[in-house]
Amino acid sequence: MSRYSHLYTPLAAAAKPSPVNRILAGLKPDAIHLSGGFPDPDYFPREQIKEITNYIMDNEAHVALQYGPSSGYPKLREHIVDLANAKHQKATLDNILLVNGSTEAFDLMCKVFINPGDHIIIEEPSYSGAVASFRAFGCRMLPVPVDDAGIMPEMVEKALAEKRAAGIQVKFMYILPNYQNPAGVTLSLERRRALLEIAKKYGVLIFEDDPYIEFRYEGEELPTIKSLDDSGLVVYTTTFSKTFAPGTRIGWIVADAELVKCLSLAESLTSLMGSPFTQALAAEFSRRGYMREHIELSKGLYKQRKDAMLAALDQYMPDGVTWTKPQGGYFLWLTAPESRIDGIEMLKGAVAAGVAYRPGPAFYVDDSKGLNQARLCFSTVDAERITEGIRRFAAVIKELMV
């Protein structure tokens, strides 16, 4: 019983470590981390950041170190107009809002669109951070399964039709089109078009979250849903966390000008603004071509690591275990046969063997699901460690499977 209980909201009262996190806390310091979605820190662009900081201090310090507009650093917003239009998103300055990482985009979307109890469509599985943020705002999440071509439009429409019949306006569908987190799958072009038609039919927004778009290792880039839209119903978000550095905390939104105004007001109440300083760095990093170079470097690295992970899975995993084969991104999604393994024991075994994965439950609205599943990240450690990590994990699964 806490002495603050009489003051708490439900969010605060629910702040308890999960059983899964308690197990993960037992990891040894030298464990192989295939868990977090982190870029490899050995390749951060240190020298470029020194160079750019000198430039910003000599030329823009009076704005880069000052308070700025809630919509974000003007020079970076201008540059993002070009980035957005290179993806055919038909953007002007009024369509761009900078945020403190895409996570803040979840918060702002809820502030602008979610009254407690409002409904949204969410992929199953979906990104754990988004699920947690939406839950904190009292969203009712309607999960729609994802297969190898992404979320299934006919099931989206079924859910929307049911809610419409009950007089309920669903607010948005949260869609990760490329190399989905956690499933690693890519939404087909046909389904992108289908979702858009459904959005128009039901007057529902599509909240398109696309952090990995620059990290395709095979095949052709597909158009973003935003670029296919002429209805103003798509709110697109992406981030510099993978193309520059997570520590700069910069995401952005591309949306209809009216929506950007509302989201910007919400930003002014949430954090006043993102960091003009790191935003100034990102503008210069991209403008000088360093971002493009950094993406190419990272892509080469991560493609090789993805291939190493797939090869190790092929080599070591016992029959009955399945995994997705991503065309890009940071992750793949492994499923051990639910009827033949205890998910908690699988996690305990992995921790004891010195390998970490992200357990499935955090990616589900109903977090009793997914204990037999694992998100495996191939971006953070090198191919050799990945192979060793998968070898250890496979041995644990083989041992436990009945």
Query: Which position among 64, 185, 332, 396 is part of the footprint of a second copy (CB under 8 A)?
Result: 64
Nearer residue to a second copy within complex by CB, 39 or 326: 39
Query: Which position among 23, 27, 33, 38 is part of the footprint of a second copy (CB under 8 A)?
Result: 38
The answer to the question of residue 368 lying near a second copy (CB under 8 A) is no
Q: For residue 365, which of 69, 63, 140 has the smallest C-alpha distance?
A: 140
Nearer residue to a second copy within complex by CB, 111 or 348: 111
Quick one: which segment of 27-35, 50-58, 326-334, 392-400 binds a second copy (CB under 8 A)? 50-58
Kindly state the tokens that stand for 238: 């992406």
Question: What is the C-alpha to C-alpha distance for residues 318 and 291, in angstroms, rounded to an integer?
Answer: 40
Query: Which position among 18, 26, 61, 161 is part of the footprint of a second copy (CB under 8 A)?
Result: 61
The answer to the question of residue 274 lying near a second copy (CB under 8 A) is yes
C-beta atoms surrounding 392 within 10 Å:
19
Query: Which position among 113, 179, 252, 357 is part of the footprint of a second copy (CB under 8 A)?
Result: 113
Minimum CB separation of residue 375 from a second copy in Å reads 15
The answer to the question of residue 7 lying near a second copy (CB under 8 A) is yes
Which of positions 137-176 make contact with a second copy (CB under 8 A)?
169, 171-172
Nearer residue to a second copy within complex by CB, 2 or 339: 2
The answer to the question of residue 25 lying near a second copy (CB under 8 A) is no
Cα 299 to Cα 243, 292, 327, distances in angstroms: 10, 11, 11
The answer to the question of residue 115 lying near a second copy (CB under 8 A) is yes
The answer to the question of residue 253 lying near a second copy (CB under 8 A) is no
Which of positions 276-335 make contact with a second copy (CB under 8 A)?
276-278, 280
Minimum CB separation of residue 129 from a second copy in Å reads 7
3-state class (DSSP) for residue 258: helix
Query: Which position among 72, 79, 107, 381 is part of the footprint of a second copy (CB under 8 A)?
Result: 107
Nearer residue to a second copy within complex by CB, 85 or 270: 270
Minimum CB separation of residue 100 from a second copy in Å reads 4
Quick one: which segment of 109-117, 207-215, 333-341, 368-376 binds a second copy (CB under 8 A)? 109-117
C-beta atoms surrounding 119 within 10 Å:
20
The answer to the question of residue 49 lying near a second copy (CB under 8 A) is yes
Nearer residue to a second copy within complex by CB, 73 or 357: 73
DSSP for 158-225? HHHHHHHHTT----EEEE--SS-TTT-----HHHHHHHHHHHHHHT-EEEEE-TTTT-B-SSPPPPPH
Nearer residue to a second copy within complex by CB, 180 or 248: 248
DSSP for 301-363? HHHHHHHHHHHHHHHHPPTT-EE---SBSSEEEEE--GGG--HHHHHHHHHHHTEE-EEGGGG
CB 289 within 8 A of CB 123: no
Question: What is the C-alpha to C-alpha distance for residues 153 and 128, in angstroms, rounded to an integer?
Answer: 22
Q: What is the DSSP letter of 93?
A: G
Kindly state the tokens that stand for 73: 């650093």
Query: Which position among 275, 327, 372, 379 is part of the footprint of a second copy (CB under 8 A)?
Result: 275
Q: For residue 130, which of 218, 211, 230, 214 has the smallest C-alpha distance?
A: 211
Quick one: which segment of 107-115, 193-201, 300-308, 309-317 binds a second copy (CB under 8 A)? 107-115
Which of positions 203-232 make contact with a second copy (CB under 8 A)?
203, 205, 232
Nearer residue to a second copy within complex by CB, 208 or 341: 208
Nearer residue to a second copy within complex by CB, 310 or 362: 362
Handedness of CA 261, 107, 232, 74 (dihedral sign): positive
The answer to the question of residue 352 lying near a second copy (CB under 8 A) is no
Question: What is the C-alpha to C-alpha distance for residues 273 and 367, in angstroms, rounded to an integer?
Answer: 33
Question: What is the C-alpha to C-alpha distance for residues 74 and 71, in angstroms, rounded to an integer?
Answer: 8
Question: What is the C-alpha to C-alpha distance for residues 376 and 337, in angstroms, rounded to an integer?
Answer: 17
Query: Which position among 26, 117, 145, 247 is part of the footprint of a second copy (CB under 8 A)?
Result: 247
Query: Which position among 35, 71, 133, 178 is part of the footprint of a second copy (CB under 8 A)?
Result: 133
Distance of CA 135 to the CA centre of its chain: 16
Cα 309 to Cα 305, 361, 377, distances in angstroms: 6, 22, 9
